[in-house]
Structures are given as C-alpha cells and as structure tokens.
Amino acid sequence: MDQALEEASKEFLVRYGGDVFPALFRSAKGTIVRDTRGRDYLDFTSGQMCATIGHNHPAIVAAVHRAGEKAFHFFSGMIPEVVAELAQVLARDWLPGDLTRSIFINTGSEATEVALRMAKMYTDGYEILVLGGSWHGITGGASAVSMASDRKGYGVPVPGIFVIPEPNAYRPYVKGADAEAEALANLDLALKLFDMQSTGRGAAIMVEPVISAGGVLVPPQDFMQALRQAADDRGMLLIFDEAQTAFGRIGKKTGSEHFGVVPDIMTMSKTLGGGLPLAAVSTTAAIEARLYERKFAYYTSHVSDPLTAEVGLAVLDVIQREHLVARANEMGAYLRGRFEELQQRYEVIGDVRGLGLLMGVELVTDRASRTPAHALGALTTQKCFENGLSMNIRRRPERGSVWRIAPPLTVSHAEIDQAIDILERALRDSLD
Ligand code: PMP
C-alpha cells in the first residue's frame, strides 16, 4: 500500500520545482514528523516555518474540535464571534504601537496582497520599494515584490517595484566594506534613484524584519529606522511582513518590537495558524477609517473563517502560557552556542547568525574567500535527511548558501543535541 501510494504520488501530482523528500509523510507531533515507513525526522524547519508551538499541539487539536462543535465557515458578511475575539486579543496583547485593526485571511501571500491593496488605496499610489532577497509570497502581486522569487517563465511582472539592496553583515556587496555603513549608503542611493524615477505616486516600503528566505539576514537597527523615515518623508506606508518573525520565533513578540520601529501595516501568517492556514493584516484606526471611507474590500471564500480563528486564539494562548517568547531566546542561545562550537572545528562554517530560534548558518568553501559552498550545502542537507533531520538550505548564486534552522520553540536540549550530532556527521561525511 505504501509502495502503491509512492507510485501514485509520482504519477498523479503536479511535480514541485523545489527539493522534495523521497518519502510520503503521515503524521507529526511536537518536533517530530513521521513518514509512511515509520521513520521519524527531527523537524528543524517547523514545517513551512509554521509549527512554532510544535506539530499537533493538543491545544490546536482541541480548537479544531471546538470549531467542529460550532462552525467551520460562514458567509463573509457574517462576522464570527471568535474572529472578534482574536482581533481583540491581537490588539491588546501582541500588536505594537497603535496598530489595532485587523482582517483575517489564509496565507502569507494573501496577506501581502491585502497589505499592498491597502497601501495603494490609502496613498492613491502604486510604487513599492522592497529589499533584495525578499520573499512576500507567490501570488501575482506578492511575487512581484519578492526578489528571491524566480520569475522566469511567468510573464510580465507588476510595474512600479523598486529594489533596495538588502543589508548583509557577512557578505557586503563590495568585498571588505563595512557592512553596516554600506547598507545605509546603498539605501541612500536606492532612495535617490527611486526619487529620480518615481511618478510621485509612492505607496509603500515593504520589508521582512529578518530577511529569511534571502539568507536569514538581520538588518541593522539604523537601517530599519531609516526605512521608517524614508516612508514618512515620501508619504508612503511602511509595511512589515512578519510571516515568520511574529509571535515569538525571534525571541520577541514581533520584529517591530525588536527594532523599536512601528510599521503602518503589519502582515502575519505562518506563526499565527501554527500549521493551519491563517493570516492577518493589521493597521491603525486612522488608516482603516480612510480605507473604509473609500470602500476597501478584500473578499475571499475564507476571509474571517471561524475554524482558523479558533486555532489562532489557541496558538497565541499557548505561546503565552508556555512562555515561548522567552524560551525562543533561551533555546536559541543554546543552539547558537552549539553551532559556534562546530564553527571552531569546521572551516566551512563561515557565519552563524539570527535572532532567537531563527538561525542562519552560512557555508563557504573557505573563510578567506567566503565563496558560497553550494554543493556542500545541498549534500549535507540530503545527508541530514537520510539520518533523520529535516533542514532547509537557502541558496542564492552570489549571495550565499545558508542553512536555515528554525525548530519549534518547544524544542528540547536533547533534540538540539541530537540534531547537531546528525549535522556534524553529515558535514564530516560530505567533506571526506
Ligand atoms: N512572507 C514571508 C516572509 C514568507 O516567508 C512567506 C512564505 N515563505 C510568505 C510571505 C508567503 O506566505 P505563504 O506561503 O503562506 O503564502
């Protein structure tokens, strides 16, 4: 039966362009995912970076049951009580500054579409500034602002998108340059070029507080403040995409809190649903009022679904009750320490970086040249999988080969030790 389904998966599914593991998967619990042959893997990607409270947490299972007793779905004009509650909890306990008004949809891509629609309608503009290496989603508008997205073969992109070079403390664009000074100078130049090309209809600057798919890059504090200023100077809105950074992953409630910079619009997704498709976009009461006046609308079949709202409330409750924001810092420090030990012994580990339990480990052929070790990255990731560790490698041709390590915030010391053992073995075998 397993064999037959493995064959069926090859025959009946549209094949996926990225890395696919050679197995079918059946179940998941905490940090562990299990395939149909009964093999267990440590999940150090938290699924798609969603399972921050661990897979199938009992609180999530109970929330799904609760929704089953009440309702999974209503007409979009019928606001479920649980959605009102989730909006209130977000505003009261999680959102920074004066962000208080939220809308609930399903995925991060959709959240990007909502945020861009809001910014365009609010400013009556359309020009968007984004960072190199950004990832904001795969749908039309979202992929247009995702510089880590491969557009080849998908037709004409949305016009009016401008790129700011992303800050990279380990790999400045000019070799040997002071990375932070370079990042600020690049921003200044990008803004000058933007001002030259702009039709005067700027809508937004959109950024991830930690550029994750682009290689787990943490921008300098001054850079984020400069973005805030740049948006204000031009009457544009600042959008933070907190798909990965909100709700504890980086050891703070949000990326906004980490930088002390409050955006005008914040998108949240992966970490809010804990593995179910829930996303939110939040903004200020003043922006919302103007949008309402202008009849802002975002209708989808699953806007404000009670099922996922019930789950979102449970996820936020678990993060608070289990003190997972603090735990991300504690376990992140432990994981970082273990990688720094490895770095001392392996020349190919060029950089260990990140915040909380969102870590990047950059592989190079040697420390002097910092040449990205792409083949090594692919091989070690495959060997880790063969030995029971699911890991993610981010490869960008000139910009690095980076393991992205992001286990559930509930990960234990023993699980981290086990993962490091598997990883070290994979590294040793690959270098032989
Ligand atoms: N924003 C960020 C920062 C992401 O990492 C992702 C997903 N990789 C998205 C948006 C898109 O989310 P989704 O895949 O849920 O559409």
Pocket test for ligand 1, best of 109, 207, 247, 272 (most atoms within 8 A of CB): 109
Which ligand 1 atom is nearest residue 112's CA?
10
Q: Is residue 385 within 6 Å of ligand 1 at its C-beta?
A: no
pLDDT at 201 over 90: yes
Are 279 and 110 contacting, i.e. CB atoms less than 8 angstroms apart? yes
What tens digit of pLDDT does each residue of 285-303 get? 999 999 999 999 998 999 9
The per-residue pLDDT for range 202-238, each reduced to its tens digit, is: 999 999 999 999 999 999 999 999 999 999 999 999 9
Rounded to whole angstroms, the Cα distance separating 172 from 365 reads 17
Q: Which atom of ligand 1 is nearest to the CA of 277?
A: 15
Q: Tell me which residue has its CA closest to atom 10 in ligand 1.
A: 136
Q: Decide whether any atom of ligand 1 lies within 6 Å of the 244 Cβ.
A: yes
Q: 145: Cβ below 6 Å to ligand 1?
A: no
Ligand 1 near 213 CB (within 6 A): yes
Does the Cβ of 240 fall within 6 Å of ligand 1? no
Judge residue 103's burial from the number of C-beta atoms within 10 Å of its C-beta, 0-12 exposed, 13-18 middle, 19 or more buried: buried
CA 108 to ligand 1 centroid distance, Å: 4
What are the catalytic residues? Answer: 135, 208, 241, 244, 270, 404
Q: Is residue 157 pLDDT above 80, yes or no?
A: no
Substitution candidate for ligand 1 out of 116, 210, 241, 269 with most atoms within 8 A of CB: 269
Q: Let me know the angle formed at the C-alpha of 332 by 327 and 335, rounded to the nearest 5 degrees.
A: 130
DSSP state of 167: P
* Residue 344: pLDDT over 70: yes
Residue 3's pLDDT is: 85
Ligand 1 pocket, residue 46 CB under 6 Å: no
State residue 299's pLDDT score.
Answer: 87
ipTM of the prediction? 0.99
Is ligand 1 within 6 A of the CB of residue 271?
no
What's the CA-to-centroid distance between 385 and ligand 1, angstroms?
Answer: 23
| pLDDT of 4 strictly over 70 | yes
| Cβ neighbour number for residue 312 with a 10 Å cutoff | 29
Atom of ligand 1 nearest to the CA of 137: 11
Residue 18: the pLDDT is 75
**Average pLDDT rounded to a whole number, residues 88-105:** 98
The DSSP annotation for 182-216 comes to HHHHHHHHHHHHHHHH--S-EEEEEE-SSBTTTT-
d(CA 373, ligand 1 centre) in Å: 26
* Cβ–Cβ under 8 Å, residues 308 and 273: yes
Cα dihedral angle (262, 268, 273, 274), rounded to 10 degrees?
-70
pLDDT band at 395 (very low <50, low <70, confident <90, very high): confident
Domain spans in the chain, listed from the N-terminal domain onward? 60-321
Per-residue model confidence as pLDDT tens digits over 41-65: 999 999 999 999 999 999 999 999 9
Q: Measure 367 CA to ligand 1 centroid, in angstroms.
A: 32
Mean pLDDT of 121-149: 95
Q: How confident is the model at residue 149 (pLDDT cuts 50, 70, 90)?
A: confident
| Å from CA of 243 to ligand 1 middle | 6
Among 46, 73, 92, 137, CA closest to 313: 92
Element (H, E) at 14: none
Alpha carbon nearest to ligand 1 atom 1, residue: 136
**Average pLDDT score, the chain:** 96
The pLDDT, as a whole number, for residue 1 is 55
Alpha helices, H only, 346-401:
374-386
Does residue 137 line the site of ligand 1, with CB under 6 A? yes
**pLDDT tens digits, 377-386:** 999 999 999 9
Q: What is the DSSP letter of 339?
A: H
- What does the alpha-carbon distance between residue 89 and residue 359 come to, in Å, rounded to a whole number? 28
Best CATH choice for the domain 60-321 from the list 3.40.109.10, 3.40.50.300, 3.40.640.10, 3.40.190.10: 3.40.640.10
Structure pTM? 0.97
With cut-offs at 50, 70 and 90, classify the pLDDT of residue 21.
Answer: confident
Model pLDDT, residue 432: 84
Higher per-residue pLDDT: 130 or 6: 130
Any ligand 1 atom below 6 A from CB of 107: yes
Burial class (CB in 10 A: 0-12, 13-18, 19+), 252: buried
The most distant pair of C-alpha atoms in the chain lies apart, rounded to whole Å, by: 66
